[in-house]
Amino acid sequence: MGPSTEGAAVTTRGLTKRFRGGQVAVDRLDLDVPPGAVYGFLGPNGSGKTTTIRMLLGLVSPTAGTARLLGQPVPAASASVLPRVGALVEGPAFHPYLSGRANLRRLDAADRTTAPRTSAARTAAALERVGLSAAAGKRYRVYSLGMRQRLGLAAALLRPRDLLVLDEPTNGLDPQGTREVRTLVREVAADGTTVLVSTHLLAEVEQICSHVGVMSAGRLVAAGTLAEVTAGATTRVRVECRQPAVAVTVLTGLGVSPVRTEAGTVDAELATADPEQVLAALVAAGAGVRQFVLARARLEDLFVELTGAGFDVRG
């Protein structure tokens, strides 16, 4: 098996959830989130991400397998380990007729491990951190989607955490808000908190994540550092030339299978071929190369390749 799980922030072994209808949501999942990582948890809708997160947090009981958070078994040790875990699960949820502050005070009151005296200061600090101080007294029902998302983050950050589990944290946020969340995650990670973030914005993952894991149909189909995972993917080459037919012949001769030709452009996976040799061969054959671009594999391509699914962006 992979690296040592000692000190891992999240570990699952054979974690399985079969719902009552017989549908297998998570199938023998072995997940390892190293401490200090910002772990991008990817997968199309219905791939089992949310069910996995729910099992980690003790909301859903696993059919088989084990899970450990911060080294302790869950759900057996949930009571002692969950106070160190902040979570945003499937969007924010609060009492609509309570203010943002009152909602946070209620969650704070539910935590037996915090001191009642410092509750007001804690909630104020959390609201400040997500930029909601001005709207703290308003009822949750009048909050915009972005404000609701921020309040959810504030709840996850009510106290210092060792692990943050964020399910779609930028959902509904405007570009400015998205940037703020990204900054927030970086700050939190810089303090040494491990972050497990599930998202559909792959650009975001490439910007903030150190590790990724890709789920498909209940199984983990790729996992590792961002570099490790993307290394497995092939580099593509895009050739703009006067004679595309010649270019196709040359590329095919080199064992590079061209994928697309359109309007004077040939697009191909480079595989193991050396880009310098390819360019030299194209020039020698007189293809009339105008532009030769090497494109590192993008996570999105990799994702489509691994899961066989495009992202249907959630509304």
Backbone angles phi, psi at 263, to 5 degrees: 45, 55
Closer Cβ to other proteins, 54 or 150, answer by number:
54
User: 143-182 mask for other proteins (x: CB under 8 A)?
Assistant: ------------x---------------------------
The first and second tokens of residue 309, run together, are 């699914």
Closer Cβ to other proteins, 60 or 220, answer by number:
60
Q: State yes or no: residue 96 binds other proteins (CB under 8 A).
A: yes
Closer Cβ to other proteins, 193 or 230, answer by number:
193
Position among 18, 36, 65, 98 found at the interface with other proteins (CB under 8 A): 98
The C-alpha atoms of residue 208 and residue 102 are separated, in whole angstroms, by 32
The C-alpha atoms of residue 134 and residue 104 are separated, in whole angstroms, by 15
Closer Cβ to other proteins, 59 or 304, answer by number:
59
| Residue 70 · residue 27 · CB < 8 Å | no
User: 186-205 mask for other proteins (x: CB under 8 A)?
Assistant: --------------------
End-to-end CA distance of the chain: 38
Q: State yes or no: residue 112 binds other proteins (CB under 8 A).
A: yes
Q: State yes or no: residue 42 binds other proteins (CB under 8 A).
A: no
Contacts of 284 (CB under 8 A, 6+ apart): none
- Which range binds other proteins by CB under 8 A, 8-16, 55-63, 179-187, 290-298? 55-63
Backbone angles phi, psi at 168, to 5 degrees: 50, 60
- Taking alpha carbons only, the member of 2, 5, 3 closest to residue 68 is 5
